[in-house]
Amino acid sequence: GAVVSQHPSRVICKSGTSVKIECRSLDFQATTMFWYRQFPKQSLMLMATSNEGSKATYEQGVEKDKFLINHASLTLSTLTVTSAHPEDSSFYICSARGVTGLRDIQYFGAGTRLSVL
């Protein structure tokens, strides 16, 4: 099956620092990767859509300068939370959509729990 690796699984940082989260598709090439945010006991909210080699498309209300997304290859997308603050503490989860087969299915990483002190 399709495997998506997300790293790190948990990060604790001080307010004002930047945190980078990696999302890799391990056994398939991902045309598109998506980044979601999930608050405790809530649903997933789409933050941005990332296409390889082009700028990410952000959902309304998501600050693109705050959440920098880079999709350098068909297997890697990164999300950088810049100058993190306590309100950025959340569960961030990425997904990847393949280029062949069932292209409408998104496979998810295990998520990154960010805690900003």
Partner 1 sequence: AQKVTQAQTEISVVEKEDVTLDCVYETRDTTYYLFWYKQPPSGELVFLIRRNSFDEQNEISGRYSWNFQKSTSSFNFTITASQVVDSAVYFCALSSNDYKLSFGAGTTVTVRA
| Listed ranges 19-27, 66-74, 77-85, 92-100: which one lies at the site for partner 1 (CB under 8 A) | 92-100
Q: Binding mask 31-70 vs partner 1 (x if CB under 8 A, - otherwise)?
A: -x-x-------xxxxx--x---------------------
- Count residues near partner 1 (CB under 8 A): 23
Q: Exposed, middle or buried, 87 (CB in 10 Å: 0-12/13-18/19+)?
A: exposed
Contact indicator for 78, 69 with CB cutoff of 8 Å: yes
Dihedral of CA atoms 115, 58, 69, 28 in degrees, nearest 10, equals 100
111 binds partner 1 (CB under 8 A): yes
Contact positions toward partner 1, by CB under 8 A?
Answer: 32, 34, 42-46, 49, 91, 93, 95, 97, 102-111, 113
